[in-house]
């Protein structure tokens, strides 16, 4: 909600921060910006869900009958009809389109009916059993199907059980002492039972060695980070990624949200220039070689495997990188 109005001049001193203007500009995170980011108006087809504050940008949502996936820049009309032979499984929402699927089969209906009938029969049986139990309890307490113990009988049975357990413990102790006495008086007496062997954990060890290791990403090594061809392919990669995936890809590649929003604000209505400046910001921060590697990691995290493989093959064919596969 603030920006840097005056930077610190002398060591061990603080700069001056000023608050953004409510409804006009904002900052969402801690920053070193010299001015706040302007509030973004809702594009055509969007409606405002939350007003812009000094700490949050305007939140927009598609109108009824439209949806916008995460990262999109314009609303898309919802699918109104499903293909022939399919029915609506989930209606269109603000972020997802209508989902269509196969209608429930006769087998599914039969299964549901079977489950329903089974539940009804089970409830009837339980009702009959409970009725019989209640009737028996009313007629004759000694013939009840359900015996509810009183506190006196419970304590009595506990005491009896304790006495029985004590008797068996004493008997067992006496028999063990007698056996020990006999062993002391009989020379050469050896135990008849073989010594206990520790459990064999070989099966566990074998199971551990056979557990497959999770897939690890390949290691990409840039041969010459100063190569002009590398820079050319690096910047051309912006034409391979769908626009709706770009902002998320930049976050996955290591670019901060403040940098992304500032570049979008400085190059409004020029999408290609926005993408170019974001790639340049990555290059300025990490260097061309590391920026390329972070870009490739971002593609893998977003599961854009087709784009990732094509870019890897193009870089390899130009002898720019080598890929080491981890076994």
- Distance CA(321)–CA(317), nearest Å, equals 9
The verdict on residue 320 lying in a domain is yes
- Same domain, yes or no: 32 and 84: no
- Same domain, yes or no: 235 and 300: yes
Q: How confident is the model at residue 139 (pLDDT cuts 50, 70, 90)?
A: low
41-65: pLDDT as tens digits: 888 778 888 999 999 999 888 888 8
The verdict on residue 119 lying in a domain is yes
Lowest mean pLDDT among 95-104, 141-150, 219-228, 266-275: 141-150
Measured in residues, the chain has a length of: 327
Number of domains into which the chain is organized: 4
- Same domain, yes or no: 58 and 97: no
Mean pLDDT of the chain: 77
- Distance CA(242)–CA(7), nearest Å, equals 39
191-220: pLDDT as tens digits: 444 444 444 443 333 333 333 344 455 788
Task: Identify which of 36-40, 73-77, 131-135, 180-184 has the greatest average pLDDT.
Answer: 36-40
Greater model confidence, 26 or 169: 26
Task: Give the per-residue pLDDT at 72.
Answer: 79
Greater model confidence, 171 or 30: 30
- Distance CA(40)–CA(33), nearest Å, equals 17
- Distance CA(298)–CA(274), nearest Å, equals 18
- Same domain, yes or no: 35 and 84: no
- Same domain, yes or no: 303 and 248: yes
Boundaries of domain holding 261: 219-324
Task: Give the per-residue pLDDT at 154.
Answer: 41
Contacts from 306-311 at CB under 8 Å and sequence distance 24+? 307/240, 307/241, 310/240, 311/233, 311/237, 311/240
Q: How confident is the model at residue 135 (pLDDT cuts 50, 70, 90)?
A: confident
- Distance CA(232)–CA(209), nearest Å, equals 46
- Same domain, yes or no: 314 and 255: yes
Lowest mean pLDDT among 117-121, 197-201, 260-264: 197-201
The verdict on residue 207 lying in a domain is no
Q: How far is CA 221 from CA 229, 238, 270, 279, 324, in A?
A: 15, 21, 33, 19, 8
- Distance CA(243)–CA(146), nearest Å, equals 71
CATH code of 266's domain: 1.10.533.10
- Same domain, yes or no: 48 and 73: no
Task: Give the per-residue pLDDT at 255.
Answer: 93
pLDDT of 177 above 80? no
- Same domain, yes or no: 125 and 82: no
pLDDT of 150 above 80? no
Task: Tell which of 78, 106, 134 closes a domain.
Answer: 106
How much is the pTM?
0.38
The verdict on residue 210 lying in a domain is no
The verdict on residue 79 lying in a domain is yes
Q: What are phi and psi of 124, to 5 degrees?
A: -65, -45
Task: Give the per-residue pLDDT at 143.
Answer: 38
pLDDT of 180 above 50? no
Lowest mean pLDDT among 197-201, 272-276, 283-287: 197-201
pLDDT of 90 above 50? yes
- Same domain, yes or no: 55 and 87: no
The verdict on residue 186 lying in a domain is no
Task: Give the per-residue pLDDT at 94.
Answer: 85
Percentage of the chain exceeding pLDDT 90? 40
- Same domain, yes or no: 26 and 54: yes
- Same domain, yes or no: 134 and 227: no
End-to-end CA distance of the chain: 49
Cα–Cα–Cα angle for 155, 160, 165, nearest 5°? 125
The verdict on residue 6 lying in a domain is yes
Task: Give the per-residue pLDDT at 186.
Answer: 41
CATH code of 5's domain: 2.10.50.10
List, as one string, the DSSP characters of 98-111: -EEEPPPPHHHHHH
The verdict on residue 240 lying in a domain is yes
């Amino acid at each position: 909600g603030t920006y840097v109005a005056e930077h610190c001049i002398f060591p061990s001193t603080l700069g001056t921060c000023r608050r953004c203007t409510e409804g006009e500009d904002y900052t969402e995170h801690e920053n070193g910006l010299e001015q706040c980011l302007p509030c973004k108006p809702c594009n055509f087809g969007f409606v405002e869900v939350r007003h812009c504050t000094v700490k949050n940008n305007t939140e927009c949502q598609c109108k009824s009958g439209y949806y916008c996936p995460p990262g999109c820049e314009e609303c898309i009309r919802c699918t109104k009809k499903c293909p022939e032979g399919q029915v609506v499984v989930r209606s269109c929402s603000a972020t997802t389109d209508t989902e269509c699927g196969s209608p429930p089969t006769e087998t599914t209906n039969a299964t549901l009916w079977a489950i329903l009938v089974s539940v009804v029969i089970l409830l009837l049986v339980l009702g009959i059993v409970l009725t019989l139990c209640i009737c028996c309890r009313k007629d004759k307490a000694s013939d009840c199907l359900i015996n509810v113990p009183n506190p006196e009988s419970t304590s009595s049975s506990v005491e009896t059980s304790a006495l029985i357990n004590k008797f068996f413990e004493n008997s067992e102790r006496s028999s063990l002492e007698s056996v020990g006495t006999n062993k002391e008086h009989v020379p050469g007496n050896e135990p008849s039972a073989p010594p206990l062997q520790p459990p064999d954990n070989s099966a566990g060890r074998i199971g551990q060695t056979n557990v497959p290791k999770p897939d690890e990403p390949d290691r990409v090594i840039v041969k010459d980070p100063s190569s002009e061809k590398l820079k050319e392919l690096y910047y051309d990669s912006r034409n391979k990624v769908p626009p709706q995936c770009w902002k998320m890809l930049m976050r996955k590649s290591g670019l901060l949200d403040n940098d992304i929003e500032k570049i979008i604000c400085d190059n409004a209505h020029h999408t290609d220039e926005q993408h170019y400046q974001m790639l340049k910001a990555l290059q300025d921060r990490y260097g061309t070689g590391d920026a390329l590697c972070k870009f490739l990691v971002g593609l893998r995290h977003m599961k854009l495997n087709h784009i990732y493989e094509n870019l890897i093959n193009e870089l390899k064919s130009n002898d720019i990188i080598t890929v080491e596969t981890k076994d």
